[in-house]
Amino acid sequence: MATRIQFENCCEVGVFSKLTNAYCLVAIGGSEHFYSAFEAELTDVIPVVKTSIAGTRIIGRLCAGNKKGLLLPHTTTDQELQHLRNSLPDHVVVQRIEERLSALGNCITCNDHVALAHPDLDKDTEEMIADVLGVEVFRQTIAGNILVGSFCAFSNRGGLVHPHTSIEDLDELSTLLQVPLVAGTVNRGSEVIAAGLTVNDWTAFCGSDTTATELSVIESVFKLREAQPNAIVDDMRKSLIDSYI
């Protein structure tokens, strides 16, 4: 189910939060509104952790993670690192990496099996990604843009990419990532997908500016509507009914 929310009147929810299958990180805002939205959806399922990274609130763009691990930039303070380690479950590996490109959320995008990385990342960082996140890493660009982490959001079931991605690129990425991909927009035509949308295998949160059309595209590509009983009955109708009288 996709939910529309705002962070302090800003629709770029992917900037202020990070959602994975094992945990959710949320920025510390002036009011509890943003945190409550996540809490309402996710409380007993996965831990929702309020944090800052390097004293900032733009945590979604600074860190990269999946259910197996979390990568943080070198600017993360020791106290924040310790807080994250204490709040996250033990099977999630929390690692701080020394990398020139410190906005890891813009440079790395991943699901639980595959990751796309900025072409200029260090070799050591690439190995660290493969090690900590347990994924296969591909250096790619999306629609000619090197910031792969901002222009694409994908989960284990589907992905949404920059609207100007050509069909060949889309096919290539689709085969690399092994998930169905769609080129679309979020937040009334914003091309920066990952900034406007944060998604995991069963939920998605997008900015309140997202139109109904965009929302339906998101729900269909990430397969978020399947939990509803109507869909199940539709799928199984052919096997349930023997013959029509």
Partner 1 sequence: MRLEKCWFCSSTVYPGHGIQFVRNDAKIFRFCRSKCHKNFKMKRNPRKVKWTKAYRRLHGKDMTQDSTFEFERKRNRPERYDRNVAENTLRAIKTIDKIRMAREARHHAMRMKGKKTIEQKAAVKELEQSIHMVKAPLALQQEPSLTLPKIKVSVSQPLAEENRMEE
Site residues (vs partner 1, CB under 8 A): 77-79, 81-82, 85-86, 90, 93-98, 100-102
CB of 132 to partner 1, least distance (A): 9
CB of 198 to partner 1, least distance (A): 25
CB of 103 to partner 1, least distance (A): 11
- When the beta carbons of 88 and 142 are compared against partner 1, the nearer one is 88
Whether residue 160 contacts residue 197, with contact meaning beta carbons closer than 8 Å, is answered with yes
- When the beta carbons of 84 and 153 are compared against partner 1, the nearer one is 84
Tokens of 93: 């590996």
- When the beta carbons of 51 and 210 are compared against partner 1, the nearer one is 51
CB of 62 to partner 1, least distance (A): 14
CB of 37 to partner 1, least distance (A): 28
CB of 93 to partner 1, least distance (A): 7
- When the beta carbons of 55 and 144 are compared against partner 1, the nearer one is 55
CB of 120 to partner 1, least distance (A): 12
Tokens of 151: 């222009």
Give dist(CA 3, CA 204) in Å, integer: 6
- When the beta carbons of 61 and 96 are compared against partner 1, the nearer one is 96
- When the beta carbons of 94 and 177 are compared against partner 1, the nearer one is 94
Q: What is the 3-state secondary structure (H, E, C) of the chain?
A: CEEEECECCECCHHHHEEECCCCEEEECCCCCHHHHHHHHHHCCCCCEEEECECCECCHHHHCEECCCEEEECCCCCHHHHHHHHHHCCCCCEEEECCCCCCCHHHHEEECCCEEEECCCCCHHHHHHHHHHHCCEEEECCECCECCHHHHEEECCCCEEECCCCCHHHHHHHHHHHCCCEEECCECCCECCHHHHEEECCCCEEEECCCCHHHHHHHHHHCCCCCCCHHHHHHHHHHHHCCCCC
Residue with tokens 């050591």: 124
- When the beta carbons of 93 and 176 are compared against partner 1, the nearer one is 93
